[in-house]
């Protein structure tokens, strides 16, 4: 099958009017990325490209295409629901559904057309976008259904269930408690090992043995 992208440059006049209507989806999902990754809130009026940390766009000459403001490298899972809502509005007769895997998430109409702003901006072909999203660990959602998204990990990871995040936090707390107790115990042993002479009394002198025939007398010098 021939795979192709819905052209966001040619059809920007169709996409733009719907942006205010679906902004709440963008804020809801992408805030989980920015807060999880950097503890920064993504608020209404902000755009994903403002948080770009990869230089894929630096070699571009001339004005940036308008749709680039809705692109963030390595964050397709947190942008795909927003793309789904836009695709449903610009082509309402198509059965748009989400394809998602550990490698990529995209929006597909079932007939070779992808609505994928991210990979199109990165210069990745539509076929590769489809194949990455159809990775063996991937899934095909029913038409119109949103992909559940979670807080992003500091080093990536598109889907981290909340229960695992809580388990991670409990483990870190336990490790810190054990380390603190070991440190306190070590400090106590070190303090007890230090000999402190009594004030006002000179330290005991060593014992000197003196031989007297078959007897040995122990004399203590003071």
**Which tens digits make up the pLDDT trace of 91-147?**
999 999 999 999 999 999 999 999 999 999 999 999 999 999 999 999 999 999 999
Residue 90 tokens, joined: 């610009």
Phi-psi label, residue 150: left if phi above 0, alpha if psi -120 to 50, beta otherwise: beta
Tokens of 112: 């070779």
Residue 203 within any structural domain of the chain? no
Listing from the earlier edge strand, what are the strands of the sheet with 97-100?
4-5, 113-115, 105-108, 97-100, 139-140
Domain annotation covers residue 198: no
| Pick from 86, 96, 102, 120: nearest CA to 159 | 102
Structural domain contains residue 210: no
Q: Tokens 């079932």 sit at which residue?
A: 110
Instruction: Render pLDDT for 188-222 as a digit per residue (tens, 0 to 9).
Output: 665 555 444 444 545 555 554 544 444 544 544 44
Question: Which pLDDT score is estimated for 65?
Answer: 97
Least confident window among 26-35, 59-68, 177-186: 177-186
Q: What is the three-class DSSP state of 99?
A: strand
Query: Residue 69 is part of which domain span?
Result: 4-164
Is 190 part of a structural domain of the chain?
no
Find, among 44, 41, 24, 23, the residue nearest to 32 by Cα: 41
> For residue 106, what are its two tokens?
């995209």
Residue 159 has pLDDT above 90, yes or no: no
Please provide residue 6's backbone torsions phi and psi, each rounded to the nearest 5 degrees: -70, 125
Residue 222 maps to a domain:
no
Phi, psi of 161, rounded to the nearest 5 degrees? -55, 145
The reply to whether 180 falls in a domain is no
Residue 201 lies in a domain: no
- Model confidence, pTM: 0.69
| Per-residue model confidence as pLDDT tens digits over 73-93 | 999 999 999 999 999 999 999
Convert 5-36 to b/e letters by CB count within 10 Å (16 or more is b).
bbebeeeeeebeeebeebeebbbebbbbbbeb
Task: Give the helix, strand, coil percentages of the chain, each rounded to 5.
Answer: 45, 15, 45
Overall domain count for the chain: 1
Residue 85 is inside which H or E element, if any? helix 80-90
Asked if the structure places residue 86 within a domain, the reply is: yes
Among 60-64, 139-143, 160-164, 194-198, which range has the highest average pLDDT?
A: 139-143
């Amino acid at each position: 099958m021939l795979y192709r992208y819905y052209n966001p440059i040619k059809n920007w006049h169709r996409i733009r009017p719907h942006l205010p209507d679906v902004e709440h989806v963008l804020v809801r999902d992408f805030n989980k990325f920015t807060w999880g990754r950097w503890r920064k809130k993504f608020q209404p009026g902000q755009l994903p490209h403002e948080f770009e940390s990869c230089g894929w766009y630096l070699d571009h000459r001339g004005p940036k295409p308008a749709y680039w403001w809705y692109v963030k490298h390595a964050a397709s899972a947190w942008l795909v629901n927003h793309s789904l809502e836009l695709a449903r509005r610009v082509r309402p007769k198509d059965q748009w559904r989400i394809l998602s895997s550990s490698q990529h998430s995209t929006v597909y109409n079932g007939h070779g057309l992808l609505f994928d702003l991210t990979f199109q901006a990165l210069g990745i072909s539509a076929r590769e976008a489809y194949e990455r999203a159809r990775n063996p660990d991937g899934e095909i959602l029913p038409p119109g259904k949103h992909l559940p998204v979670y807080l992003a990990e500091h080093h990536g990871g598109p889907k981290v269930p909340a229960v695992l995040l809580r388990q991670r936090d409990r483990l870190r707390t336990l490790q810190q408690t054990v380390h603190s107790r070991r440190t306190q115990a070590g400090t106590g042993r070190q303090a007890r090992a230090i000999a402190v002479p009594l004030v006002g009394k000179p330290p005991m002198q060593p014992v000197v043995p003196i031989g007297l025939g078959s007897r040995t007398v122990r004399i203590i010098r003071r």
